[in-house]
Amino acid sequence: MHKTPLYPLKFEPILKDKIWGGEKLKKVLDKPTDSKECGESWELSGVAGDVSIVSEGELKGKSLTELIGTYTGDLLGKKVYSRFGNNFPLLIKFIDANQDLSIQVHPNDAMAKERHNSFGKTEMWYVVDAEPGATLISGFNKPTSKEEYLEYFNSGKLTDLLNKENVENDDVFYLPAGRVHTIGKGLLIAEIQQTSDITYRIYDFDRTDAQGNKRELHVEQALGAIDFGFYKEYKTAYDKSASETNLVSCNYFTTNKLIVEKEVKRDYQSIDSFIVLMCLAGSGTIDFGRGKISYTLGDTLLVPNQLGEIDINPEQKSKLMEVYIS
């Protein structure tokens, strides 16, 4: 059977309105929405009911699930395909927080498997744009226990126990499953996470929707998922000016940041994985041997494992996140 040759793939964004969303996904990243409450753009998703569809080229209209079924290891990498089968292992998003998100936590693999027959949710954030004074919450601000947590929670003072971070452009936060967190107002974030849509909402600031309804909380479920450990550093330290730097390496994904000012070759032949490239600034083209594909701010591309190497040719100085399974 003839297979269409693979190439770097772009997908239709899956746009989701949220009570806390805004207009930056359209105004900054040029996503196709007129909503004033667009909170998320799912760039690359294998989540049931929200599977990404190819937007360009000969495979336009094909779903990510169809592609994996057809191309298996040629698309994902043999090691990744043997580990995950037809389940795409990452969910890639842009998030616009026009208001604070709920305080929340995600379960680890074991709990998510037992409770939801799902993957857990370890994730990372890259701050694309931060308004002056923007903050977020990650973890606790002092050693604590389940009993102390409940004491603060029940007295309405939970936020006094949580670690609040001042945030600037290009900051990075790694959030292993179990870490209590929330994205604060005024942040536009690129998120890399395991394929999971399971969130335990702990506190939602008593917000109501247009009908006056509060969103569901998952207080008991969250209690079993929370990591009560205290960590001295929650923000990832790295050299923001380096042309290539590793941001996160964990069991679920490896993420590097590339600053590209002139043509650069990326050799992926030793990596038995697909590659995701997210453009966070600039524009240019990717030469994959038998053709070229353009990229610009807000684009996400899936580079099939089979391609092996690519050339990145910036037209404007480019900032790219490079993600794969190691």
Identified catalytic residue from 83, 179, 201, 207: 201
- The 10 Å CB-count burial string (b at 16+, else e) for 78-108 is eebbeebeeebbbbbbbbbbbbbbbbbbbbb
Residues near 142 by Cβ (< 8 Å), separated by ≥ 6?
Answer: 161, 230
**Is 201 a known active-site residue?**
yes
Please identify every residue annotated as catalytic: 201
